[in-house]
Structure 1
Amino acid sequence: MATQLKNLSDFSHTTVPDGAAYKIAIAVAEWNADVTGSLYKGALETLLKHGVKEENITSIAVPGSFELTGAAEILLKKHADLDAVICLGCVIQGDTKHFDFICDAVANGVTQVGIKYSKPVIFGVLTTNDLQQALDRSGGKHGNKGDEAAITAIKMAHLLATA
C-alpha cells in the first residue's frame, strides 16, 4: 500500500501558490466527527498558512459524506465567486455494501459538480477499512488528508486563474 510509505501532509516536493486571491469553501460531514473534525482543522490551518484570508473561507457542516455533493452544488450556486470547494468526509467499511454505494456516489458526485460549474471541487473523503486507518490519515502517522485537500484546492484555484 503506497500510503504506508507516504505522509499525506508532506509537500516538500511541490510549490504551493499564494492563496491570498482565492475564495474557498469547505463542506465537512458530521458523521465520524472525530475524524472529520481533524480533517477540517487540517484544511483550515493549511489554507490560512498559505495565505487564504479568513474572510474568504466559507465553512458548512452536512450530516454525512453522501450530502457533500449537494453541499458543493449549493455553495457554487449561491456563491458564484468561489474559486474552489473542499469536501471533507469519512466513510468506514462496514458489513454491508452501503460503503461501496456511498463512496461511489460521493466520488462521482464531486466530480460531476466540478464539471458542471467548471470549478475545482476537491475530494477530501477518507474511504478506509477501519477507524484506525481513518485516524492515521486525519492527523495521525500518515498526516492529514485535510491538509492535502487544502493544498489541492489552492493549486487548482491557481490553475483555474492562470490557465
Structure 2
Amino acid sequence: MLDADQGQPLGLDGQGLSIGIVRARFNDAITSTLEKACMDELLALGVAEEDIRLVTVPGALEVPLALKAMASGDDHFDALVALGCIIRGETYHFELVSNESGAGVTRVALDHQIPIANAILTVENEDQAWVRAEPKGRDAARVAVEMANLLDELL
C-alpha cells in the first residue's frame, strides 16, 4: 500500500512488533554487517530491542530450518528475517545452496503464513557482498516491518 501523496510505502511503524532473525555464520564478517544494519534499522523503525530475537546457524542451508522452528514455536513473531551470504565458487555447490536456501525460506513463509525478509546474499565475489551487505540489511528490516503490518491489515 502506498501513500498517495508521496508514493512511499505505508506501514513502516515497528512499534509493538516482534521480529525474529536467523543469521548464517558462514562468511561471518559479511553476515555480521547484514545483522548490524538490520538491527539498527529495526530499532530506528520503532521495534523494541526486547522484541527482537536473533539466532545464528552455521550456513545458508540451515537458515530455513531455524526459521521454521521460530515460525512454529511458542514465541509469536510478526515477521522473520533471513540473513546470509553465498559467494560463487568453482563448483555447482553455489547453485545448490542458493536455490535450496531460497526455496526453503519461501516454503516456511507460505506454510506458516508469516512474512520473511530474505536477505541471503547470492553474489559472484566478496566485493559484491560488501557493497550489498549494509543496504540489504536495512532493506530486510523495512520489508519485515512493512509486511508484518500489511498481513495484520489483511488477515
The alignment's TM-score, normalised by the length of structure 1, stands at 0.87
Distance 1:42 1:14 in 2: 20
- Of residues 23, 43, 46, the one that matches 1:48 is 43
- The one-letter code sitting in structure 2 at the alignment partner of 1:119 is I
Query: Which SS does the other structure have where 2:69 is aligned?
Result: helix
- Is 2:124 the partner of 1:129? yes
| Pairwise CA distance, 1:121 | 1.5
- Of residues 148, 151, 155, the one that matches 1:157 is 148
| Pairwise CA distance, 1:19 | 0.4
| Pairwise CA distance, 1:15 | 4.3
Tell me if structure 1 keeps the 8 A contact 2:34–2:136: yes
Between the aligned residues of both structures, percent identity stands at: 34
1:22 equivalent in structure 2: 17
Tell me if structure 1 keeps the 8 A contact 2:11–2:149: no
Distance 1:14 1:129 in 2: 31
2:53 equivalent in structure 1: 58
Unaligned runs of 5+ in 2: 1-6
Query: Which SS does the other structure have where 1:19 is aligned?
Result: coil
Distance 1:34 1:45 in 2: 17
Which whole-Å deviations, capped at 9, do the CAs of 1:100-128 have from their partners, x for residues lacking one? Answer: 00000011110000011111122111100
Distance 1:111 1:158 in 2: 19
Distance 1:79 1:135 in 2: 35
Tell me if structure 2 keeps the 8 A contact 1:16–1:50: no
The alignment's TM-score, normalised by the length of structure 2, stands at 0.91
2:98 equivalent in structure 1: 103
Distance 1:80 1:30 in 2: 23
